[in-house]
Amino acid sequence: MKNIKLLLLSTLLLCFTGCEDKKSAETNTSIASKEHNKSLSQVDNSADTQALKKQAELRKKHSFVLNDLNDDNRSISIENKHLIIDKVKEKLILVNFFATWCPPCKGEIPYLADLKKKYKTDLFIAGILVNDTPDAKSLKNFIDKYAINYYISISEQNDALAKFVSKRLELDENFPIPLTVLFKNGDYYSHYEGAVPVEMLEYDIKKAMGKD
């Protein structure tokens, strides 16, 4: 009888120990699962934070100052891909990053001048000299030679502006020139890397004006 009692007691102890082990294993699994979910949550939160930071950075207003040979200073502000140039009333703005030593840049100047003449009440063109610092006399001769009838900025901030715009357009830092960017009512509309056929540029201008 005594042996039977001992046997029953041993069986109960084994069952109790098994239950405790199972409970402990389940608890450990639950903790591990929570830790795993917490880790994933931290990764997700980190990714979300980075995305929010990037969006906030894009929304920041960045300002530059343009200046031409006539000391016509114009402030230019960019927020994300929205651009405003002081004292510009035209609906369309065409920003052309160029250099006087660049053959493709020089090749498209007559087309830009024709477009300015053709759409003078609707189109403002800003030529932004980049990687180029001609003296006033040389630049004046250049403007006269190519009959440039639009705004040419010689500001010391031109290169910084070009770098900033190229970053917003997700272009390589060493982007090719000419680089031409079209804005409608301040909002980005299109851009063109390198020399662009005047037919394509005019087509987009007409389309932006609702005349296509």
pLDDT, tens digit, 9 for 90 and up, residues 84-102: 999 999 999 999 999 999 9
Q: In the 8-state DSSP scheme, what is residue 43?
A: H
**Average pLDDT estimate for 11-18:** 46
Given a cut of 60, whether residue 23 has pLDDT beyond it is: no
Strands 92-98, 179-184: pairing is antiparallel
How confident is the model at residue 38, as a pLDDT?
A: 56
For the ranges 11-15, 52-56, 144-148, the lowest mean pLDDT is seen at: 11-15
Please report the pLDDT score of residue 2 as a whole number. Answer: 47
Residue 34 CB: number of other CB atoms within 10 A?
10
- Chain segment 124-178, per-residue pLDDT in tens: 999 999 999 999 999 999 999 999 999 999 999 999 999 999 999 999 888 999 9
Architecture per CATH, 61-209: 3-Layer(aba) Sandwich (3.40)
Q: What is the pLDDT of residue 80?
A: 84
User: For tokens 């053959």, what's the residue?
Assistant: 103
Residue 108 pLDDT class (50, 70, 90 cuts) = very high
Give dist(CA 55, CA 30) in Å, integer: 37
Task: Say whether pLDDT at 36 is over 60.
Answer: no
* Identity of the residue numbered 67: N
* Residue 170 falls in which region: left (phi positive, over 0), alpha (psi -120 to 50) or beta: left
- What is the separation, in whole angstroms, between the first and last Cα of the chain? 106
pLDDT of residue 16: 43
The whole-number pLDDT of residue 115 equals: 97
Q: What is the CB neighbour count within 10 angstroms for residue 143?
A: 18
* Cα torsion through 34, 40, 43, 49, rounded to 10: -80
Q: What letter would DSSP give residue 134? A: -
**CA gap 58, 61 in Å, rounded:** 8
- Average per-residue pLDDT in the chain? 83
Tokens for 91?
């609906």
In the block, which residue shows the tokens 């405790």?
Answer: 20
Read off the pLDDT of each residue in 199-203 and give the average, rounded to a whole number.
96
Spatial separation of the C-alpha atoms in residues 128 and 99, rounded to whole Å = 8
> Does the structure show a pLDDT above 60 at 208?
yes
Domain ranges within the chain, ordered by starting residue: 1-59, 61-209
